[in-house]
């Protein structure tokens, strides 16, 4: 029995607690202003590798209606959420589909028509995930201030 559990763990990785603890999600606004919270130093987006600094720059770039930037921002946040422990099961193939779409379109390509609609629809779904509206709850936006200890009672 133990050998079969070990073999399963080697083949499929350790069992996850996704059903017990789905983790939580944060928005792109959090990720672009909290680099210390990032679980990685680089990531592939649209088939290209980006450093954390480049990704933060991308998150800060106004999309100006370009569906590739609209989707890239939500995809980056969703990937960071998943890498930080949020359960990706509710997304199905959405992460892979968004990555494939960005690879095909190319960042900054201003797709039109059905291609644009497909990109913005995926961005909407990822935005819902990142905001805790699709099954995985939204996290508090970072740690709150430490509680102030009560004043010490004067001793006689």
Q: How many domains does the chain have?
A: 1
pLDDT digits (tens, 9 = 90+) for 41-88: 999 999 999 999 999 999 999 999 999 999 999 999 999 999 999 999
Confirm whether pTM is higher than 0.85.
Answer: no
At 114 the pLDDT is 98
* Domain enclosing residue 56, as ranges: 45-134
Greater confidence, 1 or 115? Answer: 115
At 18 the pLDDT is 36
| CA dist., res. 59 & res. 31, Å (int) | 8
Per the domain annotation, does 126 fall within a domain?
A: yes
Per the domain annotation, does 97 fall within a domain?
A: yes
Per the domain annotation, does 9 fall within a domain?
A: no
pLDDT digits (tens, 9 = 90+) for 9-33: 333 334 343 345 689 999 999 999 9
- CA distances, 51 to each of 26, 40, 56, 76, 126 (Å): 20, 9, 9, 12, 21
| CA dist., res. 76 & res. 99, Å (int) | 10
Per the domain annotation, does 51 fall within a domain?
A: yes
Strands (E), 26-151: 42-45, 48-51
**120: part of which helix (H) or strand (E)?**
helix 113-130
Per the domain annotation, does 90 fall within a domain?
A: yes
Per the domain annotation, does 100 fall within a domain?
A: yes
């Amino acid at each position: 029995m133990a050998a079969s559990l070990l073999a399963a763990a080697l083949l499929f990785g350790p069992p996850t607690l996704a059903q017990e603890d789905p983790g939580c999600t944060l928005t792109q606004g959090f990720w672009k202003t909290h680099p210390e919270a990032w679980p990685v130093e680089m990531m592939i987006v649209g088939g290209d590798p980006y450093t954390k600094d480049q990704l933060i720059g991308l998150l800060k770039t106004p999309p100006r209606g370009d569906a590739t930037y609209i989707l890239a921002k939500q995809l980056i946040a969703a990937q960071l959420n998943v890498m930080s422990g949020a359960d990706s099961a509710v997304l199905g193939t959405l992460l892979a589909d968004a990555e494939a779409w960005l690879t095909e379109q190319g960042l900054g390509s201003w797709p039109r028509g059905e291609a644009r609609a497909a990109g913005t629809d995926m961005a909407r779904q990822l935005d819902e995930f990142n905001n805790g509206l699709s099954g995985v709850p939204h996290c508090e936006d970072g740690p709150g201030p430490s509680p102030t200890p009560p004043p010490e009672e004067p001793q006689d």
